[in-house]
Structures are given as structure tokens and as C-alpha cells.
Amino acid sequence: MAEPGQERETVVLEEGDIFFLYRPRVEEEHPSSIGDVQRFEMVLRPHGGEKVRLLVVGRKRLPEAERHERHWGFVEAIRHSAKGIEKELRERRYDTGTRGERRRPAARPAGEGVYAITLEDGQMHLSYALELPEKPGQVQKAFKIAPEASYALSIKNPEKGKPVNAGLREEDEADYPEKLQEEFRGRRFAREDVGLLDFKGAEFILIGARSNPESEYGHDLGAEHENYEHAETIRRLRMVKSRHPVKPLLEGGWA
């Protein structure tokens, strides 16, 4: 850790586009509160990278930075393009043995911006700044999507067990190659290697750290105001309004 009065050492590990999304509960056509939501998700699209990550965040919202909340999450899918991730977010229909056909609604975009994963004195931090919506609304407030925030990011060692009734099943956890598994060095969490997120089933902890990361860490995230025409959610994730209601992204209201 840095001594009092010393500047903290910041190393940028990764930068890219970040997208926040929510998926309504099965058969919920018109969600109007977080109680109508099944999952809260994030997509990380690194600049110049070959992998795009779809992450699920526990408690269906981001941790509050000021309260230093801790939220668990996991990597749901890894794809080689943003278009491939969008297919995971579409409406699904499936048959059940007792209730007939069921419908899982498509995900709704709730925010987009830019992010950086930095290493601060041996601890990774995920920081972001919103570009859309221009003014956060009731949806962003429900999911605690602030205009900007930073979280300490630690990745769980799948060989160290888990608390009772918590985390993924053993068969769903990340299966790391031996070389990457060594990154944990026998610890419960790794805090330095962002590459550990590049595996389906990777589990992580986000801890609220800062509400003003750009000024606190001295790193300009490069956020710019966007509109529908230039929205990365539409251009990169192909989340057109014919499949995904975009009102939460543009106006901050439920859809």
C-alpha cells in the first residue's frame, strides 16, 4: 500500500465500452420496479480485445460506493464479438412439463459508457463513466448506476470452496488452465490479473470504492455524451428497439 502522502501507483490493465442491462422476470411484459427484474447484467467490451464478457451482478444492482458494499457476481458468457453477446440477450421461449410454453423477455439496456480496469497498489479496480442516458432516471437509480463510480475487483479461487448456499455450483465454476490457476497462489481471491475474467463461470467480488474515480485516480475515462444514432449499445451490441426496448437507455424510464 502507498504510504501517507505518497501518490498511489496506477497501471491501466484494460479499457473499453461498458453496458448495463436488466432482464425482466419470466412472462413479465411491463416491468415497473426492480421487483419485476430477474437479473442485472454488465457487458465489458475491451478495446482491441478478442473477447466480450457478459457478467451477472448479484442483488440485482451495483454496490453503493459510499457505503463500500460488497456484491458477488459471475461471468455468464464469453463471446468473440458484441454481436455474439446480443444473441444471449434476446427473448427466449421454452416448454415446461407443467405450465406449457414460457417466455423469458429480452434484456433491456439501462446504461452505457466507458470503463477502465486499473491496478492500484496490487488491487484491481473497475471504474466507469456513463455516456447514456444523459441524465440518470428512475431505472438507473434503482440499479445504483451512478454517473461514475469505481469498485475494487477480486476474482474467486474455484479451488477454495464457497460459503454454504452461496456462489455457483461446482460444475458451473470456471475451469482455469494450470498456469492461470497458479495466479491465485493458494489464496481465496486474486486481485491482479484481469485475464481471470475471460472464462465462463469466473466468480468475482465488487466492493464499492469511489464515486469520483477520474479525479481520485487521475485517469481520464474519456466519456462523451451520446444519442440514439451514435449509441454504442445500438452500434456495437446490435440492441435495436425492435428486439430490446431502449427507453431505459435513452430516457431512464422503465420498459
Q: Is residue 215 a part of any domain in this protein?
A: yes
> For residue 146, is it within any domain?
yes
Q: Cα 98–99–102 angle (5° rounding)?
A: 135
Q: Is residue 110 part of a domain?
A: yes
Containing H/E element for 111? strand 108-120
Our CA angle for 203, 157, 9, nearest 5°, is 85
Residue type present at position 203: E
Average pLDDT over the chain reads 91
Residues composing the chain: 255
Grid cell at residue 252: 431512464
The answer as to whether 2 is a domain residue is no
Range of the domain at 149: 10-250
The answer to the question of residue 4 being in a domain is no
What is the residue whose three cell numbers read 440514439? 228
Assigned domain for 104 exists: yes
**Total number of domains in the chain:** 1
Q: Read off the pLDDT of residues 120-168 as tens digits, 9 standing for 90 and up.
A: 999 999 999 999 998 999 999 999 999 999 999 999 999 998 766 779 9
Tell me, what's the pLDDT at 8? 63
∠211-152-40 over CA atoms, to 5°? 80
Helices and strands (H, E) in the chain, number of each type: 6, 11
22 in any annotated domain: yes
Confidence band, pLDDT 50/70/90 cuts, at residue 98: confident
- Residue 192 scores a pLDDT above 70: yes
Q: Are 217 and 125 in contact (CB under 8 A)?
A: yes
DSSP readout, 56-90? EEGGGSPPPTTTT-EEEEEEEEEESSHHHHHHHTS
For the stretch 1-60, pLDDT in tens is 444 445 567 899 999 999 999 999 999 989 999 999 999 999 999 999 889 999 999 999
Say if residue 221's pLDDT is above 60: yes
What pLDDT score does 96 carry? 78
Residue 1 in any domain: the answer is no
Bridge partners of residue 69, in order along the sequence: none
Distance in angstroms (rounded) separating the CA atoms of residues 158 and 189: 9
48: left (phi over 0), alpha (psi -120 to 50) or beta: left
CA distance 116 to 220: 9
Question: Rounded to two decimals, what is the model's pTM?
Answer: 0.92
- If one counts every other C-beta atom within 10 angstroms of the C-beta of residue 242, the result is 7
Q: Give residue 162's pLDDT.
A: 79
219-237 average pLDDT score: 81
